[in-house]
Amino acid sequence: MMYPFMTLEDNTEIVHSEMLPENRVKVYVEKPDAKDCFHDMTCYLPGYEIESVHGFSEEEVAEYMEIIRSTAHLIIEFASQGGLGKAALYAHLDQAIDDVKSGRVQDVDEAFDDILSELDRVKI
């Protein structure tokens, strides 16, 4: 399965796989092209091994590899947790656990009052 990671201003999409055997992650870069339909490249982390390139110039490959290198730690983390959405959920749950352990909690009645107050302000 491939998970969305980043969309660049030029509509280039960067997606990644789940954690593969041998702790590798496939990263796929795809950019729409009017003439060729799509340009794409595939590489694997953590070794930054480029498997294939179709349509991109050497300069473009270098630019995308720099983006991948600068975000590899995130891609690997998200791949190990099932994508960005699940990683964000886990981070939120970790924060909630820390809040409870630290006593940063709110009375349930107060919480419901706050939620209802926010809903009252929503304009439909």
Q: What is the pLDDT of residues 73-83, one digit of tens each?
A: 989 988 988 76
- 70 and 88 share one domain: no
The sheet with strand 25-33 has its strands ordered as: 2-7, 13-17, 25-33, 37-45, 49-54
Q: What are the structure tokens assigned to 22, written together?
A: 């041998």
Q: Are residues 31 and 52 in the same domain?
A: yes
In the predicted model, what is the mean pLDDT of residues 95-124?
Answer: 72
**Tell me: the pLDDT tens digits for 47-79?**
999 999 999 999 999 999 999 999 999 899 889
Q: Examine the domain organization and report whether 65 and 100 are in the same domain.
A: no
Residues 51 and 89 in one domain: no
Eight-class DSSP state of 83 = S
Residues 15 and 56 in one domain: yes
Q: What are phi and psi of 56, to 5 degrees?
A: -85, 145
Residues 101 and 48 placed together within one structural domain of the fold = no
51/100 same-domain check: no
Same domain, 73 and 33: yes
- pTM of the complete model: 0.68
Q: Which residues pair with 33 in a beta bridge?
A: 37
Same domain assignment for residues 77 and 89? no
Domain residues for the domain of 100 are 84-124
Whether 33 and 62 map to the same domain: the answer is yes
Q: Which of 17, 60, 70 is nearest to 40 (CA)?
A: 60
Residues 110 and 77 in one domain: no
Q: Yes or no: say if 78 and 84 are a contact pair by the CB < 8 Å rule.
A: yes
Count of the separate structural domains present in the chain: 2
